Structure formats: C-alpha cells, structure tokens
C-alpha cells in the first residue's frame, strides 16, 4: 500500500516536472495558431517563420557571443584563481574563497540591479561590457569550484617532482598542472557556457538596443503573444542544452556532471 502510494506520487511529480516540456516540444509542430496538445497535424511552419525572424537570429548570435566572452573570461580567470588558492594556506584563504563564491548566494536580481545602476552612474555606454561582467561574475564560482576540486585531488608530489627536476613555476603550471586538470577545465567551459546562455535575471537589466540575449527576446515576446513560434524556439533551446549535456555526459558520466553542479 505504502509502496504503491509512493510510486504513484513519484510518477505524478515526474509527469508534472516534464509536462510543460512535452507540451512545448509537441506544440511546436501544431498546425493550429495556438499551442495545443496533442498537436493537430504536423507542420514545420513555425520553424520556418522563426528562421525568417531576424530579431530572434540576432539574439541567438548575441547570446552565443556573450556566452563565449563570459566563458573565456570566467574559465581563464577562474583557473588562475583556483591555482592561486591551491598553494599552501594563507591567512584569510577560506574567507576569500567564500567571498569568491558569493555571486552564487547573492540573489541574482540584486547583482543585476547593482550592475545596472553602476553602469548607468559611471556612464557605461556599451551594454555588452556590463553583460560580460555580470555573466563572468555569475559563472566564475562554478569554474573555481570545479577546477579547485580537481586541484585538490591532484597529487601534490606531481608539482614537487617537476620542481625537483628544475622546472620553473610557469613551466610547472603549463606543462604539469594544466594537463592534469584539463578535464575539469573542459567541464567548466561547458558549464559556464550553459549558465551564461541561460541567464535571464541579470541580463534583463543590462540588455539594450545594441545587444539582447535570446532568453530576453523570448521573455519580451511572450509578454505580448504566445504563439507556437515561441514553442519552436524553445524546442531548439531544449535541444541545444540537451546536446551540450549529453556531450558532457558521454565524456565524463552523469554523476560527475551533476555532482559538480550541486
């Protein structure tokens, strides 16, 4: 009895969790002017219509560019920082580490507002700079944590062995440490990219006429209309993150992927 109840409720919860996704994907192929489920007929016209929308295409490019910039900065800076934190202890290291993790704990809307107001007051004209800083800040903690964990698992004797063979610190870093933590860096790249690409709350304050990310484009669009074209772009987005995650999973295994994130 108890077991039956547990299984049923789990099934219902999973159905509820996945329901909207199923409706979106199914609804993107409907011939009706509204999303209905199960879809009526089968058509790709919403995808065709989407391809004709230059604003959505531009936003897609904007998101790619922004995510690439943020990922580059975050992974570069985060890796150097993680290496810096991995040396012997120094006074205040744990406090500093906690401080570096703070963008995860601070409400994203607050970070968004703070950056928004700051860029207005200092008269920052480019929205891209503000967005890049915001996205880099929000992805850095993941990079520091993932690369930091790999460094903790690294045998300290490795660096010492290289040093004893006469390698300079820069050579130790580039030729000994970096290759050993390369998998973690790759995971960080994909994580940072996904997080930046999916970011909404910070972006909403910092987008402007020169740059508008895809999630914000969808956001402003569905405030006015909810036709199946949004279902089409949403389906493509779902497919996009699915491909990234399956790639990640194929390379590293599901446990490690989610283990790193939680």
Among 83, 124, 167, 186, binds another protein (CB under 8 A): 83
User: To the nearest whole angstrom, how small is the minimum distance from the Cβ of residue 182 to another protein?
Assistant: 18
Half-sphere exposure of 222 (CA within 13 A, CB side): 15
User: To the nearest whole angstrom, how small is the minimum distance from the Cβ of residue 153 to another protein?
Assistant: 19
Name which of 152 and 254 has its Cβ closer to another protein: 254
Contact flags string 223-242 toward another protein, x per CB under 8 A: x--x---xx--x--xx--xx
- For residues 211 and 167, what is the distance between their CA atoms, to the nearest angstrom? 46
- For residues 232 and 38, what is the distance between their CA atoms, to the nearest angstrom? 15
Name which of 42 and 90 has its Cβ closer to another protein: 90
Name which of 260, 102, 128, 255 is nearest 194 in CA terms. 260
Residues 180-209, interacting with another protein (CB under 8 A): 194, 198, 200-201, 204-205
DSSP string, 50-77: HHT-HHHHHHHHHHHHHHHHHHHHHHHH
Residues 56-75, interacting with another protein (CB under 8 A): none
Residues 24-43, interacting with another protein (CB under 8 A): 24, 27, 34-37
Among 44, 51, 61, 80, binds another protein (CB under 8 A): 80
With CB under 8 A as the rule, give the number of residues binding another protein: 81
Contact flags string 162-181 toward another protein, x per CB under 8 A: -------x------------
The conformational region for residue 166 under phi > 0 = left, psi -120 to 50 = alpha, else beta, is: left
Name which of 158, 181, 152 is nearest 85 in CA terms. 152
- For residues 112 and 130, what is the distance between their CA atoms, to the nearest angstrom? 10
User: To the nearest whole angstrom, how small is the minimum distance from the Cβ of residue 237 to another protein?
Assistant: 5
Q: How many residues does the chain have?
A: 262
Residues 123-152, interacting with another protein (CB under 8 A): 133-134, 136-137, 140
Dihedral (Cα; 123, 131, 70, 169), 10-degree rounding: 30
Among 19, 156, 179, 247, binds another protein (CB under 8 A): 19
Residues 63, 181 contacting (CB under 8 angstroms): no
Residues 94-123, interacting with another protein (CB under 8 A): 96, 99-100, 102-103, 105-111, 113-118, 121
Among 16, 41, 54, 155, binds another protein (CB under 8 A): 16
Among 23, 167, 180, 190, binds another protein (CB under 8 A): 23
């Amino acid at each position: 009895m108890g077991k039956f109840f547990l299984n049923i409720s789990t099934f219902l919860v999973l159905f509820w969790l996945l329901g909207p996704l199923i409706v979106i994907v199914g609804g993107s192929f409907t011939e009706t002017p509204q999303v209905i489920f199960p879809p009526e007929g089968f058509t790709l016209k919403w995808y065709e219509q989407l391809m004709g929308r230059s604003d959505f295409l531009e936003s897609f490019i904007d998101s790619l560019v922004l995510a690439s910039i943020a990922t580059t900065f975050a992974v570069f800076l985060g890796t150097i920082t993680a290496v810096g934190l991995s040396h012997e202890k120094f006074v205040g290291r744990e406090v500093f580490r906690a401080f570096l993790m703070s963008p995860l704990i601070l409400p994203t809307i607050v970070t968004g507002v703070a950056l928004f107001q700051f860029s207005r007051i200092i008269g920052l004209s480019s929205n891209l700079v503000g967005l890049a800083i915001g996205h880099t800040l929000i992805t850095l903690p993941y990079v520091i944590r993932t690369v930091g964990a790999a460094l903790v698992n690294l045998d300290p004797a490795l660096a010492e062995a290289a040093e004893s063979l006469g390698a300079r610190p820069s050579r130790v870093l580039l030729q000994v440490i970096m290759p050993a933590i390369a998998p973690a860096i790759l995971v960080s790249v994909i994580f940072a990219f996904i997080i930046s690409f999916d970011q909404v709350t910070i972006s909403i304050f910092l987008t402007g006429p020169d740059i508008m990310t895809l999630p914000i484009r969808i956001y402003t669009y569905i405030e006015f209309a909810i036709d199946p074209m949004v279902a089409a772009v949403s389906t493509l987005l779902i497919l996009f993150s699915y491909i990234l995650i399956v790639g990640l999973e194929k390379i590293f295994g599901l446990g490690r992927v989610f283990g790193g994130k939680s």
